[in-house]
Structure 1
C-alpha cells in the first residue's frame, strides 16, 4: 500500500480525494477535490473520542471496530470501492494520515483495491498549502484589477481571454460565493472560513504555477461578505500595481442590474422554483442590503432609495423589471462612486494602466506573455 507525499503534483493535477473524517470535520474544512466518505459518522466519532479520553487508545480502537461492523462496514467499503473505481487516480486521507485512513486503505486492499493514502493527511496538506502561499506572497508578483462598482472586474478575470479565464487570474469573489458589496450575497451561502482559505491557497498555487509573471486578482477589501482574506494576501493586494477598468454609468447600471436583479432571482428560482417564495426571498434580500448601509447613506438618502426600491419591486411584480435601474443608478452615482473616487485618489501612484474592459484585458494578456526576467 502506497502513500502520496508529492503535494505540488496533487494540487496541480486536482487529484480526486476521499476524506474519511467525520462529516462535522469535513464541513469545517476540506480540500477542494475531496468527497466525504467517512469511516465513522459524527455520533460514532464522538463515542470513540470519549472512550479514548477515559479508557485509552486500545479501548477506543476496540469500540471503533464494534461500532463499524456488519452491514454498516460493508456499506462504507462499498462507497469507497465505487469512488476508487470512478477515480482510479485518486487517494484518501484522514486528519493526520493515521489510523482512520490506514484502516480504510487496508479494508480497500482486502477488497482487492490498492488505493494510495495522503502522507500526513489533512493537516499536512493544509500546512503545505499555507507555506506555499506564504512563499508566493513574498515574491510580490500580483497585479490588481480595480474599478468602480459594476464595471465587470470579475467578468474580466474569468472571461477576458477570448471568453476564458485570464492566465494567472484568480476569482476571489467566486470562491467566496459573494459579489463583494452589501448587495453581493448569492444564493447557496458562503463557504466556511477554512474552506475559503483552502480554495484561495489552492488557486494561488495553481495560478503561480502557470508560465506567467503575475497573479491577477480583483481589488478587494479585508472581507468578501463574511469571508476574510489572509493578512499577507491583503498586504499583497494593497501594494501591487493596479489596472483600472473604466465604464460609463449606464454600462455599470446594466451590469449591476443583470447580476443583482436578474441573476440573483434566477438562482433563487432554480432552488425554490418560480414561486412567490423565491420572489419574497429576492426582495427581502434587497431591502436587507439597503438597510446594511443605512448609517453610511444617511437617513434622507436611505429613505429615498427605499422608496425607489418599493416602486421597483411593485413594478417587478407586474412584469416590468426595468424600474430597478433607477435606484441602482442613484446608488452607484451618489454612494459607491464618491467612495471609490476617494479610495482611488489615495492609491493613484500604483496605477499602471486604465481603460475599457476590453483594453484592460488586452493589456493584461500582453503583460502575461512578456518574458519573465532572468
Structure 2
C-alpha cells in the first residue's frame, strides 16, 4: 500500500535529489502552477476532466465516477508504464490529495510500483509556500546591482551564479524583464509559480553571508516581490554599474531580439509612445518599422529609459549619489570587477566584526 508524505519530508528528499515528484493533475492545471521540478503525468486530460466535471454537476456523482473509470481503464497500461520507467523514489500529488492521486497510488501499488502521495496535495503545498514566505527570517545581506537599462545586469548575475556566487535572478524567476518590453520572447510566470521558485532560492541561500540581486521595482511583470525582500534591498549594499551606450544597445538587441519579435516590439512601444516627445516618438516608430533597431534602442534609452532611471535613482538619497561606479567595456570585465568589489566588501565586513565589542 502507498504511504502519505509530508511537505517537509518531500522537500528534504527533493533537495537531496532523492525524489521525483509527479503532478497527476491535468496539463492546464500543471501549466498554471505546480511544485518546482515536478513532471506531469495527467490522470485526465483537460477535455476528460471537463467532461467528468460536467457529469458531476449536471447528472450525478455516480455517473461521473463511472465515466472516469471508463476513461481511465482504457489508458491504464500506458499510464502505469510511464511510472514504471521512472527510477528511484516517487511522490504523486493532485489538487488536494484526493481521488486522482489516491487512485494513482493505489493502482501503482497493486502493480508493484511504490509511490508516496503528498498529504494535502498542491493546495497544502501552496499554503506552505505562502506561510513560509510570510514568516521567513532571511539573514543574508543583500548586494544590489544598479545600472541603466541595457547595462547587462541580468547577464552579469547569471555569469556570477555560474561561478558559484549566491545569486537570485528575480527576472528569471518572474519570466519577465521588468519593462514594457519585458515579456517579449518569454513566458511570464504568475504569482504562485514565482513564489514557489523564489522561496526555493531564498531557502537555498539563507545561510550565506550575502546574496546578489538586481535592483528591481516591487512589481516584475505579473508578480510582486514580498515586502521583506523589498526592505532588505533598500537597506542593502548597492553596487553601481556603468557601461557605454553602444554596449548597452548591443546587449538589448541581443537579449530582446527585436528582429524576431518585430510586431510585439512595435506593440509594446505603442504603449509608451505618448510619454515621449512627439518627433522622437515618430522617429522611434519609423526605425522599428524599417528594422533599424539599433537606432530605435538608442533613442529609447536617451529619451525614455535613462531619464526614468535617473529619477528612480534619486529616491535612494545622497549615499547612492556618492557611489563610485564600476565602469566596464565588456560583460567579462564587469564580472571580474564585481568579483574584486565583493572581495573588498568581504574584507571590510570581516574587519568590522573583529572590532565589535566582545568579538
Q: TM-score, normalised by structure 2?
A: 0.81
CA contact (8 A) 2:138 2:202 kept: no
List alignment gaps of at least 5 residues for structure 2.
Answer: 328-333, 354-358
2:243 counterpart (235, 243, 247): 247
Rounded Cα–Cα distance in structure 2 between residues aligned with 1:18 and 1:343: 44
Quote the offset at 1:30 in angstroms: 0.7
Query: CA–CA distance in 1 between the matches of 2:175 and 2:346?
Result: 27
Structure 2 equivalent of residue 2 of structure 1: 3
Q: Deviations over 1:74-121 (max 9, x none)?
A: 222222222x33xx2332111222332122112111111112222222
Q: Which runs of 4+ in 1 moved over 6 A?
A: 54-59, 368-374
Q: What is aligned with 2:187?
A: 189
> Over the residues paired in the alignment, what is the CA RMSD in angstroms?
3.1
1:301 aligns with 2:302: no
Q: Deviations over 1:196-239 (max 9, x none)?
A: 3322222222232xx41223221112333334434554444344
Please give the secondary structure, in 1, of the residue aligned with 2:181: coil
What's the offset of the Cα at 1:195? 2.1
Identify the residue that residue 130 of structure 1 maps to in structure 2: 130
User: For residue 118 of structure 2, what is the aligned residue in structure 1?
Assistant: 118
Whether the aligned pair in 2 keeps the contact of 1:140 and 1:236 (CA below 8 Å) is no
1:334 counterpart residue number: 303
Contact map agreement 2:23 2:94 (CA 8 A) in 1: yes
Gap regions ≥5 residues in structure 1:
269-281, 314-322
Selected match of 1:212 from 201, 208, 227: 208
Residue of structure 2 in register with 1:226 after alignment: 222
SS at match of 2:212: strand
Instruction: Report the secondary structure of 1:186's partner residue.
Output: coil
Distance 1:16 1:167, change over 3 A: farther
Equivalence for 2:94: 94
TM-score w.r.t. structure 1 length?
Answer: 0.78
Structure 1 counterpart of 2:256: 260
Counterparts of 2:4 and 2:138, CA distance in 1: 31
The CA distance in 1 between the partners of 2:149 and 2:122, in whole Å, is 38
Separation in 2 of the partners of 1:141 and 1:119?
35
Native 8 Å contact 1:21 1:40 kept in 2: yes
Q: 1:304 to 1:128 in 2, by over 3 A?
A: same
Matches within 5 A, 1:55-94: 61-69=65-73, 71-82=74-85, 84-85=86-87, 88-94=88-94
Q: Tell me the residue number matched to 2:316.
A: 347
